[in-house]
């Protein structure tokens, strides 16, 4: 005979609600999302020739501190450059007009992010403006490939030294 009653049903319902709320908090925390409903932010655009592994929602940092995220990545159909839309927190709305942007990687194989370097211009960037000074991503695999497979006479080439690396003895001048 099973015991049923309002207290047992209430306890089971409360436990289930608590479990669902915990799962929701865990899901939001694991994706680095914030509860920013109605937050005041603004958008800037930056044009890059190479974005590497940059993805949407990648962080935007100034001095290592996250100040926004990548909102959108598009391809310019005429110049074939990548146009990256950044959403920055409204607290940082006074970025100088000569601010530069670069794509960097956290660690050797970590996530890509955009690093901003504020300049000294008294004019500020407004919502919708484009960051003019940009530095594209460095493709590490391409650099390693160039170094490893460069031809003779180049630094790091496989045929840059003959034999086992021993050099012929130098001739001494005759008196």
Residue 18 lies in a domain: no
> Comparing 47 with 158, which gets the higher pLDDT?
47
Q: What share of the chain is helix, strand, coil (3-state, %, to 5)?
A: 20, 30, 50
Alpha-carbon distance 167 to 173, whole Å? 18
Domain hosting 85: range is 41-148
Nearest CA to 102 out of 92, 90, 112 is that of 112
pTM of model > 0.85: no
Alpha-carbon distance 49 to 61, whole Å? 20
Residue 99 lies in a domain: yes
Residue 1: C-alpha distances to residues 6, 9, 12, 16, 170 (Å): 16, 16, 18, 24, 102
User: Domain tally for the chain?
Assistant: 1
Q: Which band of pLDDT confidence, cut at 50, 70 and 90, is reported for residue 161?
A: very low
Q: Which band of pLDDT confidence, cut at 50, 70 and 90, is reported for residue 44?
A: very high
Residue 15 lies in a domain: no
Average model confidence (pLDDT) across the chain: 81
pLDDT at 116: 94
Please give the average per-residue pLDDT across 54-63, as a whole number.
93
Residue 34 lies in a domain: no
């Amino acid at each position: 005979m099973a015991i049923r009653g309002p207290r047992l049903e209430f306890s089971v319902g409360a436990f289930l609600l608590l479990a669902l709320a915990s799962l929701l908090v865990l899901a939001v925390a694991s994706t680095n999302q914030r509860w920013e409903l109605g937050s005041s932010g603004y958008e800037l655009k930056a044009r890059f020739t190479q974005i590497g592994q940059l993805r949407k929602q990648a962080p935007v940092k100034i001095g290592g501190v996250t100040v926004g995220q990548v909102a959108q990545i598009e391809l310019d159909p005429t110049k074939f450059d990548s146009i990256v839309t950044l959403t920055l927190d409204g607290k940082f709305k006074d970025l100088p007009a000569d601010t530069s942007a670069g794509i960097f990687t956290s660690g050797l194989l970590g996530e890509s992010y955009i690093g901003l370097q504020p300049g000294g211009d008294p004019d500020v960037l407004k919502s919708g403006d484009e960051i003019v000074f940009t530095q594209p991503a460095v493709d590490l695999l391409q650099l390693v490939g160039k170094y490893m497979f460069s031809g003779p006479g180049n630094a790091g080439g496989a045929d840059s030294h003959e034999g086992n690396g021993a050099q012929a003895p130098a001739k001494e001048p005759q008196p």
